[in-house]
């Protein structure tokens, strides 16, 4: 499946929308609710079995996904703001909560993500922060953006999840 060319058209979630999806351990989509299918612009057949990264917008800093996967490997939940890329090239922001579904013996069976509309407060902060992180990645790689993010969190005196949750309130 070819990735669409990003454009400047933003689609906003409604206040009562919930996007739900599940991926297997390798990140391939195994479930998506109707809102997920609608917002992505792909059909259910196109989504099932596809890597979730087909929705990754080029404006997303890699450090956010690095942190996401590091947290999930520890079998902990994570919250994040994500700019997704729809099939038609438009984009939409989400406030995501990603968790592991554990099977017997504590092994990770799949990953479950519930996403809703980000708060106006978050949308005043996150796009600028992500632009700064992406600029750092372009210049110095993911390590540079990770350092910048850690410095910003230290300035705030918060963990990543606490910072993200504070913006959603």
Encode the chain in three state secondary structure.
CCCCCCCCCECCCCCCCCEEEEECCCCEEEEECHHHHHHHCCCHHHHCCCEHHHHECCCCCHHHHHHHHHHHHCCCCEEEEEEEECCCCCEEEEEEEEEEEECHHHCEEEEEEEEECCCHHHHHHHHHHHHHHHHHHHHHHHHHHHHHHHHHHHHHCCCHHHHHHHHHC
Position 53 scores a pLDDT of 93
User: Left, alpha or beta for 78 (phi > 0: left; psi -120 to 50: alpha)?
Assistant: beta
The whole-number pLDDT of residue 6 equals 83
Domains of the chain: 19-168 (3.30.450.20)
Q: pLDDT at position 82, please? A: 98
pLDDT of residue 9: 93
Residue with tokens 């297997």: 24
CB 50 within 8 A of CB 3: no
Tokens of 20: 């739900």
Class of residue 38 by CB neighbours under 10 A (exposed 0-12, middle 13-18, buried 19+): middle
In the chain (169 residues long), the average pLDDT of successive 10-residue segments reads: 82 96 96 98 97 95 96 96 97 98 93 98 98 97 97 96 95
φ, ψ dihedrals at 42, nearest 5°:
-90, 155
Residue pair 30/22 in contact by the 8 Å Cβ criterion: yes
């Amino acid at each position: 499946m070819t990735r669409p060319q990003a454009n400047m058209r933003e689609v906003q979630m409604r206040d009562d929308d919930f996007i739900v999806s599940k991926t297997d351990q390798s990140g391939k989509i195994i479930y998506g609710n109707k809102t997920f299918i609608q917002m992505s612009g792909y059909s259910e057949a196109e989504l099932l079995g596809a890597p979730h990264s087909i929705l990754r917008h080029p404006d997303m800093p890699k450090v956010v996904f690095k942190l996401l996967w590091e947290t999930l490997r520890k079998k902990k939940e994570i919250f994040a703001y994500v700019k997704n890329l729809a099939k038609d090239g438009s984009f939409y922001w989400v406030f995501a909560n990603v968790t592991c579904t554990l099977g017997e013996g504590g092994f990770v069976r799949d990953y479950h993500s519930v996403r809703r509309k980000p708060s106006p407060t978050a949308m005043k902060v996150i796009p600028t922060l992500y632009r700064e992180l992406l600029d750092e990645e372009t210049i110095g790689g993911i390590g540079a953006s990770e350092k910048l993010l850690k410095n910003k969190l230290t300035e705030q005196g918060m963990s990543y999840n606490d910072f993200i949750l504070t913006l959603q309130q």
